[in-house]
Structure 1
Amino acid sequence: MTNYSRTLVTLACLLSAGCASNPAGNSETVPPQSQYDSIIADNEGSLLSINGLAKELATADVIVIGEYHGHHGAHLLQALMQSALYQQRPAQVLSMEQFTLDDQPELDRYLAGQSGEEELIEDTDAWPNYKASYRPLIEFSRNRNIPVVAANAPADIVRCIGRTGESYLEHLDQAQRRQLPDDPFIDTPGYRRKFFEALGSGHGGDHGSKHGETANNKRLESSYKAQLLRDNTMADQVIRALENHPDHQVIHLTGTFHSEDRLGMVAVLEKKRPDLEVAVVSPVFWRSGDDLDSLLETHGGKGDFVYFLQPLPQEYRDTDRHREAIMEQFRNSPDLSCD
C-alpha cells in the first residue's frame, strides 16, 4: 500500500465508526502518514475513531482538547470532534483559548451576523492561523447557534503580570478586575514543576543567593503568574458557560500545556468544581522509530484519550538565526505601559 493510500485509509478510519476496535499488535499500527492524520487511543491501548471517541465522551460535562498550535492534524481533529460530539449532544458550547475576554462582544456580533469575517479578525486581533485552523469551528457554531466563549485573559493584562508580577492587578479598575477570577493564581505543585522545567530552570522559582539569580527568579515567577492567570481565567469561563447554559456540554480548546496530565486549567477547574465530569484529550508526537505500545506506555497518562500526530518540521537548524528570530520578536513586541 502506498503512503497516499494509507493516508486515505487513515482519514476514512477517523470519519467512520468501523475502526474503533484495537488491531492485534499495536506495534504494527501504521503511524500518521501526513500532517493531517491522527491516531486516537484510550489509556487501555484501544484505538478509536472520531465517532467512537464522541460516544465515549457523550456524558462528559467538559471536554478539553489540547492542541499543538498550528498543527494541521490537531485542528482537523478538533473540527471533526466538534461535529461528532454535536451528533451525540446538540446542546453544546465552544470555549476557546484563542480569544480573550475583551473579544467577546465582537465574537458575539459575528455569530449574530452583524459583522463579516475580516471585521472579526481585525477587531479581535485573531491569531494568524485563524482561517486555516479555527474558522471551521466558528462557522460550525455560527450555523447552529452554538454559543462560543472567548475564554482567555486579556493579553495586555497577561503581559503586564509577566513583566511586573501579580501586584499589577492592583492597578486595574473595578470593571477590569471584576471580569477576572476572584482567586486568579490557583495552581498545583506538579504544574509549577512542569512550568519551570519547561523553561530550563531546576529551582522552581526558589530565590537564589546571587543578585542575578534573584532577578532571574523574579522574572520567572512573574511569567508563571501570567500563565496561571490564563489557566484560572479559562477555567472560570468554562464554569460560567455551564452556569449560563445548564445541561450543555462544553468543548474547550487550548494549547496542550494548559491541560495535559490534568494540570493547568484542568486542575483549577477540578478544584473549583469537583462535581464535574471533565475529559482531557491530548496530542502526542509519533516520531520516527516509535511504536504505539511504547508511546502509550510513555504518554498515555497525558489525557483520558490521546491522539498521535506527525511531528512538526524543525523551525531552525542554525542556532544563531533562531536566537535572532527570538530577539526580533522581543523588538517587535507591543509598546505597552504597565505603570
Structure 2
Amino acid sequence: MLSSEKFTAFLKDRVTITSGQTFLRQSLLINHNSEINNEIMKRTLYILALFVTLSAMRSDLPAYKIFNVKGKSVEFGKLVKAASDVDIVLFGELHNNPVCHWLQLELTRALYEQHRDKLMLGAEMFEADNALIINEYLSKKVNDRNFESEARLWPNYKTDYKPILVYARDNGIPFIATNIPRRYASLVNREGFEGLSVLSPEALQYIAPLPPAYDPELPGYKGMIEMMGGAGGHVNENLPKAQAIKDATMAHFILKNFSSGKLFIHFHGTYHSDNYEGIVWYLKNQNPDLKILTIKSAEQASVDSLEEANSGKADFTLVIPETMTKTH
C-alpha cells in the first residue's frame, strides 16, 4: 500500500499533468479559433475592399451611360430588349470613340444570340462598290492581308470595324456595304444631283435611284447651310445634297437587303440619324410601317444626366465622357 505522503504526491502529479493537458488543449483551441477568425476577417476585408473598388468604378468614373428618349438612365439590357422588337436598328456612332465601337459589337452579340440567322448588319464605312470583296471575305475566299490591301477601308478599320466584320464572318451574318462611293458623293458636292445623271448604268447601281427625294428644309440639312454661313465662309448649296445622297443610298441598300422577319443593324455617324432625320427620313419615306430604333452617341463633361442639347434626338442616347481616349 502507498503511504499517505506518496499518495498525496501522486495526486499532486496527476492534477499538475491534467491541468497542463487542459491548458494545452484550451490553448490549441484558442489558437485554432484565432486562426479561423483571422482568416474570416481577412476574407471579409478583401470582399469589402473589392466592393468599394467596384462601387467606385461604377459610380465615380463610369465609361458610359445610356438614356432613353425621356432622359432616364437605363441598363444595357433595356436597349437590347427594345432593339430585339424592331425591324431596323440605326446605331449612330462617334467615329473615333472606342466605347461606341465596343457597344456596337456587344449589341451585335446580344442580338445574334436572340435572332441568329435573322440578323443582318450594314455600315456607312463600307461603300457599295466594295460589296464583292466584302462578300468574298465573309465567305473566307479572301484572307485578311488581301482584303485589307484591296478594299477601301477607313484608317481606324483594324481597331473599330474589323472586330464586327470578323464576328459577322465567323457567325455567317450578312454584312452589307451601304454607302455611296465617295467619288460620287464628291461629284454631288461639286455639281449637285444633276452631276450623277451622266454616270454609266454600272456606276448608278451603287447609288440610290435618281432623282433622290430631297427636303432642304429638314433641320439637319438646313443646319449645314446655316453653319457655313455663320462661320463666314462660302455657302455651298450642294453640301447638304452630298449628305442627302449618302443618307438616301444607305437607306436604299438597307431596304434592298431587308425583308420582313429580319433584324437589320446599321452603323453610321450619329449625324445620319439624329432627330429621326437622314437615313430615318428616307426609310420612312419608302416604307412608313417600318419599326425603327435609333441610337445617338454623344460626349459630355459629365454622364450623370442627359444634357438638354442631346435630349430627344433618338430613342436611346449613349453618353460618353468627353475625356475618353480616341482611336485615331
Q: Same fold (TM over 0.5)?
A: yes
TM-score range normalised by the length of the shorter chain: 0.7 to 0.9
Give the distance between the partners of 2:160 and 2:318, measured in 1 at CA: 17
- The 5 Å alignment of 1:300-319 reads 300-311=311-322
Q: Is 1:117 matched with 2:133?
A: no
Q: Secondary structure at the match of 1:160?
A: helix
Paired position in structure 2 for 1:128: 155
1:235 aligns with: 251
Larger mean Cα displacement after TM superposition, 77-86 or 41-50? 41-50
Partner in structure 2 of residue 26 of structure 1: none
Q: What amino acid is aligned across from residue 272 of structure 2 in structure 1?
A: H
Structure whose alpha-carbon radius of gyration is higher: 2
Instruction: Indicate yes or no: 2:297 matched with 1:283.
Output: yes
Cα 1:5–1:240 shift into 2, 3 Å = farther
Could you tell me how far apart the structure 2 residues matched to 1:157 and 1:74 are?
Answer: 28
Aligned-partner residue type, residue 233 of structure 1? T
**Contact (CA 8 Å) 1:72, 1:133: kept in 2 or not?**
yes
RMSD of aligned residue pairs (Cα, Å) = 2.7
Count of matched residue positions in the alignment of Structure 1 and Structure 2:
274
Please show how residues 1-339 of structure 1 align to structure 2 within 5 Å. 5=53, 10=58, 30=60, 32=62, 37-90=63-116, 91-182=118-209, 183-187=211-215, 188-197=217-226, 199-202=227-230, 216-217=234-235, 220-243=236-259, 246-288=260-302, 291-292=304-305, 295-311=306-322
Contact 2:275 2:314 in 1 (8 A): yes
Asked whether the 8 Å contact 2:225–2:237 carries over to 1, the reply is no
Q: Write the distance in 1 (CA, Å) between the matches of 2:239 and 2:320.
A: 29
4+ residue segments displaced more than 4 Å: 4-10, 312-315
Task: Verify the 8 A CA contact 2:70 2:312 in the aligned structure 1.
Answer: no
2-side partners of 1:8 and 1:76: how far apart? Answer: 22
CA distance in 1, matches of 2:163, 2:324: 24
1:255-284 deviation per Cα after TM superposition (whole angstroms, max 9, x unaligned): 011111111111111111111000001112
Cα 1:114–1:165, aligned 2, differ >3 Å: closer, same or farther? same
1:192, distance to aligned residue in structure 2 (A): 2.0
Q: 1:224 to 1:6 in 2, by over 3 A?
A: farther
SS, match of residue 258 in structure 2: helix
Q: What displacement does 1:224 show?
A: 1.7
Is the alpha carbon distance of 1:55 and 1:255 closer, same or farther for their aligned partners in structure 2, counting shifts above 3 Å? same
**In structure 1, C-alpha distance between the alignment counterparts of 2:256 and 2:288, rounded to whole Å:** 15
Query: Partner amino acid for 1:106?
Result: I
CA distance in 2, matches of 1:100, 1:233: 10
**What is the TM-score when the length of structure 1 is the normalising length?**
0.74
1:286 and 1:111 map into 2 onto residues whose CA distance is 37
Structure 2 Cα separation of the partners of residues 303 and 49 of structure 1: 16
Equivalent residue letter for 1:234? M
